[in-house]
Structure 1
Amino acid sequence: MLTQQVFTVTEVNRHVRQLLENDQILRDIWVRGEISNFKHHTSGHMYFTLKDDGSALRCVMFRRQNSRLLFQPENGMKVLARGYVSLYERDGLYQLYVQELRADGLGDLHLAFEQLKKKLEAEGLFDSARKRAIPVLPSKIGIVTSTTGAALRDIISVITRRFPNVELIIAPALVQGEEAPAEIAAAIELLNRHGEAEVIIVGRGGGSLEELWAFNTEPVARAIYASRIPVISAVGHQTDFTIADFVADCRAPTPSAAAEMVVPVKEEIRRNLNASFERLRQALQRKLEWGRNRLENLQGRPVMQRPETLLNEARQAVDLWEKELHRQMELRLGERVQVLQRLAGQLNSLSPLAVLERGYAFCREVDSGKIINNSDQVEVGGLVEVTLRRGVLHCRVEEKKEDLHWQK
């Protein structure tokens, strides 16, 4: 019999778990390592392994904790993980329960920026071919920004100074903080539903990367991409670049620059119109002067003073052309008649009728109509038909003579 206490597997695992969770170091610890075997489960929980050159540590990050991540963990990524070490009793496996995860080296925000930029660029959201032109002189301008920020005051000041007739449609939104991305996206969608703005300025004044972060988020980027109205991104200072800048139809370095970009100076337009009108007036004046001189030159020509002279000359020319046409027709007709007569003579010389004219005749069988040119073709007593120059004879053969030789 064993005198020592015997534990069940569950009791052992529970005891080890309590030891781990009560350890002052392991209850709140930072671990540096490289992610491998990463899996984002449909439940929302993340499971992965942290490893270095010598060991590996199983990790889990539940949905509530990973929902606050700014970047997407990936295999091969070097990270810093904070959490506590405990034991999963059912399998007897100890693991790190991650409460916080940071990129090791680049920083969370920079890493999240690069990841989202790469993703959206691959989807074509930055494609320059889809970017639309900004209207030259919009009558209504939509503005998405905070109503309490300096950006709105700057935009209103610049636009009213340059072109006071333009109507401004303001869609207020928070421009920093956790609620800012959703509000900015909703404001852009609202202006599109409203449908009267011809261009939208989305922006805010300068700030740190954290303060500008709302404009580096996916909801804002997709709202700009989906907008039917051209969008100008005007975030921060001249050196600040955001995801919104890459997606927008146009980027302005500052909100004030966006206002200058979207409307011209009214007085400049008036001066340009006056200058264009004057150039047009002078051009028309030169054209009229040239036409007047041209008309005077034409009026001074003899033909314009006595137009009947030109008409009489034309009539004479027509008469001459008519006579020449008749002469040429008669000449061509005479030549054709001579050719026809020559051909007719040649044809007549070859005609059998011409032979008959000279006293000859030709003989044919009565029944078959075949020409007889040899006495062997008929028999004595046979009937033949003899064609003369005038008339036909029906004859009976009384006698045949063979080998008749013609002599001179």
Structure 2
Amino acid sequence: MAITAPSTARNSPESAQPLGAVIEQVRGWVERCGWIWVSGQVIELRRRQAPTQFLTLRDSRSEHSATITCSTQVLDTAGPLTEGMTVLACLTPRVWAKNTSLSFECAELRIAGEGRLLVQLEQLKRKLQAEGLFDSVRKKRLPFLPEVVGLITGAGSAAERDVLSNLQRRWPGVRVRVRHALVQGPDSAADVMTGLAELDADPGIQVIIIARGGGSLEDLLPFSDEGLVRAVAAARTPVISAIGHEPDSPILDLVADRRASTPTEAAKIAVPDAREQADQIAVQLNRLRQAIITRVRGEQDWLSQVRSRPVMRDPAGGFAVHQEWLDATCNRLQRAIDQRIADERTGLAHALSAVRSMSPKATLERGYAIVADAEGGSVTSVNDTDPGDQLLLYLSDGQLVVEVDYQEEEK
């Protein structure tokens, strides 16, 4: 049974068709439509731990939407797909017989428009990040006050006026070397790379600003060019990226040494504000002055405390106490010396008395005499002399010379 266009002919209740047969006929008619490429916006994406994935596409110009089924491989091949992206899908309609629902099976999925560009940029970001070009350790420190600033921007652009006016307003003495370059179009990246090489080769330039106003994703694509990004990473001079406005984020922002949200912000990063610096100097001088005053006052208070001490009012007062102690000690020492001398004199007198009592002179004083022969030899026995020998007698008050008449030995 074939489905024909609606007509006035109707079947009767007696010739009613089975519902399943009608559904199968509708299913066959729908699936004969074949494959077709369509464009739509992803409004819902549900990833599952299953071979079949589901997403919902909506026509960007109407309220029509449809459920799409695809394999995990088709979804992964499309790239990092997120809700809101516009995609190109190769679809064929399918009717599910059980509930007569209509869906579309997707055989191939591609990200379209800006989404595809974003995928390509994301892949480039991952590649450069894996090489370490975005690491913070390789970013160069900007000089505090550069004498010469290099500027790469479009000729006569608003970005050029913003950077120059703000540089002069913030620090009038700064010098700027401007290198005009194409900031849009297929030759833009190469022209900016050439300007970067020229300014980087100048040893007098201490920082380089690459500035451009806002624009669409396609307009800012040159500043995500891989060659330009690698040139900025290899530059000797620190580079400030000031591309577009705050929401814009080309890859150049990630590899530059500093990112500025706007060209005006780039000027603020490149040089300090003279008025702010003068105010800071005044504040610091005032703090230094107050610190010196506080320190001097503290030292004066300390000196006053030292001068108020008794020893400072009467420096010799402390010596009086020590003098009394010294006098007492000297007196004790003198008494000890005198006592020691007296004791030694007494001991010496006793020793002298003992010596004198034992000396021959004391014996002579008691009436004894010492006998010696003519040669002065001591005579201790009568047998030491002969009659007629002359002897010498030592008495207490002198000497006598006697002659031996006879000898008599004690019996």
> TM-score, normalised on structure 1?
0.50
Report the counterpart of residue 128 of structure 1 in structure 2. 136
Q: Which amino acid aligns with 1:205?
A: G
Distance between the aligned counterparts of 1:175 and 1:291, measured in 2? Answer: 65
CA contact (8 A) 2:184 2:220 kept: yes
Distance between the aligned counterparts of 1:131 and 1:137, measured in 2? Answer: 18
Q: CA deviation at 1:297?
A: 2.3
Distance between the aligned counterparts of 1:202 and 1:281, measured in 2? Answer: 43
Q: Could you tell me which of 167, 170, 179 is aligned with 1:162? A: 170
Q: CA deviation at 1:172?
A: 2.3
Distance between the aligned counterparts of 1:320 and 1:166, measured in 2? Answer: 84
Q: Which amino acid aligns with 1:129?
A: V
Report the counterpart of residue 212 of structure 1 in structure 2. 220
Report the counterpart of residue 362 of structure 1 in structure 2. none
Q: CA deviation at 1:248?
A: 1.0
1:116 aligns with 2:124: yes
SS at structure 1 position matched to 2:208: strand
Q: Could you tell me which of 209, 231, 239 is aligned with 1:231? A: 239
Deviations 1:215-243 (A, max 9, x none): 01011101111112221111011111101
Report the counterpart of residue 364 of structure 2 in structure 1. none
SS at structure 1 position matched to 2:177: strand
SS at structure 2 position matched to 1:194: coil
Quickly say closer, same or farther: Cα 1:179–1:299, change in 2 above 3 A: same
Deviations 1:74-121 (A, max 9, x none): x956999xxxxxxxxxxxxxxxxxxxxxx9324453333122112111
Report the counterpart of residue 244 of structure 1 in structure 2. 252
Report the counterpart of residue 409 of structure 2 in structure 1. none
Report the counterpart of residue 274 of structure 1 in structure 2. 282
Deviations 1:245-304 (A, max 9, x none): 111122111111111222232112111211211121122112112212221221222212
Distance between the aligned counterparts of 1:302 and 1:193, measured in 2? Answer: 75
Report the counterpart of residue 105 of structure 1 in structure 2. 111
Distance between the aligned counterparts of 1:319 and 1:181, measured in 2? Answer: 101
Distance between the aligned counterparts of 2:142 and 2:309, measured in 1? Answer: 58
Q: CA deviation at 1:129?
A: 2.6
Distance between the aligned counterparts of 1:197 and 1:309, measured in 2? Answer: 73
SS at structure 2 position matched to 1:293: helix
CA contact (8 A) 2:78 2:111 kept: no
Quickly say closer, same or farther: Cα 1:220–1:278, change in 2 above 3 A: same
CA contact (8 A) 2:223 2:250 kept: yes
Q: CA deviation at 1:308?
A: 4.1
Distance between the aligned counterparts of 1:290 and 1:209, measured in 2? Answer: 65
SS at structure 1 position matched to 2:204: coil
Report the counterpart of residue 185 of structure 1 in structure 2. 193
Q: Which amino acid aligns with 2:160?
A: L
SS at structure 2 position matched to 1:104: strand
The answer for unaligned runs of 5 or more in structure 2 is 1-35, 38-75, 80-86, 89-108, 330-411
Quickly say closer, same or farther: Cα 1:150–1:300, change in 2 above 3 A: same
SS at structure 1 position matched to 2:201: helix
Q: Could you tell me which of 153, 156, 160 is aligned with 2:161? A: 153
Q: CA deviation at 1:130?
A: 2.0
Q: How does 1:5-404 map to 2 (within 5 A)?
A: 76=77, 104-107=110-113, 108-310=116-318
Distance between the aligned counterparts of 2:187 and 2:327, measured in 1? Answer: 98
Q: CA deviation at 1:148?
A: 2.4
Matched length: 228
Deviations 1:30-59 (A, max 9, x none): x98xxxxxxxxxxxxxxxxxxxxxxxxxxx
Q: CA deviation at 1:167?
A: 1.4
Q: CA deviation at 1:139?
A: 2.6
Q: Which amino acid aligns with 1:182?
A: A
The range that moved more, 256-265 or 220-229, is 256-265
Q: CA deviation at 1:140?
A: 2.2
Q: CA deviation at 1:310?
A: 4.2
Q: CA deviation at 1:320?
A: 11
> TM-score, normalised on structure 2?
0.50
Report the counterpart of residue 350 of structure 2 in structure 1. none
Q: Which amino acid aligns with 1:204?
A: R
Distance between the aligned counterparts of 2:323 and 2:186, measured in 1? Answer: 97
Report the counterpart of residue 21 of structure 2 in structure 1. none
Report the counterpart of residue 351 of structure 1 in structure 2. none
SS at structure 2 position matched to 1:307: coil
Quickly say closer, same or farther: Cα 1:222–1:298, change in 2 above 3 A: same
